[in-house]
Amino acid sequence: MNNVTINPKVVLFIAAFAAFIATFNETYLNVAFTPIAETFSIDLITVKWLTTAYMLGAAVVVPISAYLYRSIKTRHLFFASLILLIAGSVVCALSVNFPMLLIGRIIQSIGTGILIPLGMNINVACAPRQKLGKYIGIVIAMTTIGPSASILVAGGLLSCADWRTLFWVYAVFSLICLICGMCLLKNIAELNRRKFDVLSYALIGLGLIGVMYSISVAFTGNLLFAVLSFVIGLVLLFIFAARQKRPAPLISLQPFKYPVFTIGLIINMLAIIAMFAMNILLPYYLQTSLGVEPIIASLTIFPAILLSSALAPAAGRFCDKHGPKVIVPAGFILMGVFSVLLAAFINTGNIILFALLYIPVICGSSIILGPAQSFILSRLSGEENPHGVVLLSTGFQIAGCIGSSVFTGVYAVFETASGELAFTAAAGLTAVCMLCGFILSLTLSAVNRRERGAE
């Protein structure tokens, strides 16, 4: 780190604001799909490419974030990411056709792909080690609030304004974040300016596109093409992994030498899959099966989001003092049990009951994500941390893709029979994932003790 005085709380504020801005944009457009489709005379399958392209764009940029973090001054990188978000928003707001709108969305995704891991990197670099769980918990809280708050904000704006207003408002949010960074953020990372490995980047970029695209279209497109895309993507990723054994890799895979990191990464992904799936499916069920207005469906899940956000820093503090042995398994129990209870009472149509049962589901995710991430990152050295953050961020993108695509696909398969059966099937799959996460979480502390004993 540079020889300058850096206030960890100021860095935490910037990292939390960046996390909110980046994740706010992930679901911001979902409620605007219908008016956008009407404006450009396209179908909803086409307009959903705004989400797919955004997700793929961010996923492709994340793998080079460690290289960028060590090659470009922190302030410059932060400014560049926000400028991309603002520029993309302006292009979207001024778009005269759908391709122009899609290009603007891709520009936004590049900014997001830089901003998310950058925020985590500066937070991990500056947080006091004994408070790492608390600091990561606060950032996790912002990533939880962002997607939910965006749906409420977008719904409110669309009730009185055109969909283009959404992009102007987001540009203002991004500009405020940029100004805060200009005033408060200092250069943090030590630069080494290694040569950029173009071939490695091409391999992981194309590999991730292949895998994530196949997941996205598995239930809605050509199944054979999806399988072929998945296989090609996996082959490219294996070639990429083999190439990273060279000196000065694009992404060091050294974190995987610690079994606790690998287990923690899987745990993290399982919790994200369930959180994404339930955040999408419960409002969708309320709207399609019960005829609830979008804003009411969003408000149904909002109490859970707020409580989980308040709980995340406390969960981080608990993990700092006691480790993940108790809190992470407890999180999986909450998510699994109450997902099943939601499915059991889904035919009652009681929105208040749904809101109450949903609180433990999302609170469970908040006491898994922060503690798991802080625990496994604390096992890495300062040199390994940026690469660990890249791997976690890439896992986040893949898990989000699975949660939003695979689970909605399962829902769609059973929806032809009834909405209740569809939700029950998806909730059952969520419970299976939570059981797997619970079993893995029981091994986390034991594996860590074994690793430390071998050192």
Helix (H) / strand (E) containing 162: none
Non-local CB neighbours of 274 within 8 Å, separated by 6+ positions: 335, 339, 361, 365, 403, 430, 433, 434
pLDDT for 454 equals 58
Q: Which candidate, 301, 326, 335, 304, places its Cα nearest to that of 432?
A: 335
Core vs surface per residue 62-74: b (16+ CB within 10 A) or e? bbbbbbbbbbbeb
Rounded CA gap, 341 and 348, in Å? 12
What are the strands, taking DSSP E only, across 103-191?
none
Rounded CA gap, 341 and 333, in Å? 12
CATH placement of domain 1-195: 1.20.1250.20
Tens-digit pLDDT profile for the chain (455 aa)?
A: 555 578 889 999 999 999 899 888 877 887 787 788 889 988 766 787 888 788 888 888 988 888 898 889 999 999 999 999 999 999 999 999 999 999 999 999 999 999 988 988 898 888 888 888 888 888 888 887 887 778 778 878 887 888 999 999 999 999 999 999 999 998 887 887 778 889 999 999 999 999 888 887 777 767 788 899 999 999 999 999 999 988 888 888 989 988 889 999 999 999 989 988 888 788 888 878 888 877 787 788 888 888 888 888 888 888 888 888 889 999 999 999 999 999 999 999 899 999 999 999 989 988 998 888 888 888 888 788 888 888 988 888 888 888 878 888 888 888 888 889 999 999 999 999 999 999 999 888 777 667 665 55
Rounded CA gap, 196 and 263, in Å? 30
Q: Domains of the chain: which residue ranges?
A: 1-195, 197-249, 255-455
Q: Which candidate, 167, 156, 189, 35, places its Cα nearest to that of 108?
A: 167
Alpha helix (H) residue ranges in 159-222? 164-184, 198-217
Contact criterion met (CB below 8 Å) for 188 and 74: yes
pLDDT for 452 equals 61
Non-local CB neighbours of 190 within 8 Å, separated by 6+ positions: 1, 2, 70
Helix (H) / strand (E) containing 448: helix 419-454
Contact criterion met (CB below 8 Å) for 367 and 311: yes
Core vs surface per residue 143-160: b (16+ CB within 10 A) or e? bbbbbbbbbbbbbebbee
The architecture of the domain spanning 255-455 is: Up-down Bundle (1.20)
pLDDT for 108 equals 95
Rounded CA gap, 111 and 83, in Å? 8
pLDDT for 1 equals 52
- Tokens found for residue 61: 């940029």
Whose tokens are 């200009």? That residue is 182
**Angle at the Cα of 151 from the Cα atoms of 92 and 361, rounded to 5 degrees:** 140
φ/ψ region of 41 (left if φ > 0, alpha if ψ in -120 to 50, else beta) reads left
Instruction: Tell me how crowded residue 442 is: count the other CB atoms within 10 A of its CB.
Output: 13
pLDDT for 425 equals 92
Whose tokens are 């793929």? That residue is 56
Contact criterion met (CB below 8 Å) for 111 and 83: yes
Rounded CA gap, 182 and 177, in Å? 9
pLDDT for 3 equals 53
| Same-fold call for 1-195 versus 255-455 | yes
Helix (H) / strand (E) containing 317: helix 294-322
Three-state SS annotation for 63-85? HHHHHHHHHCCHHHHHHHHHHHH
Rounded CA gap, 144 and 41, in Å? 33
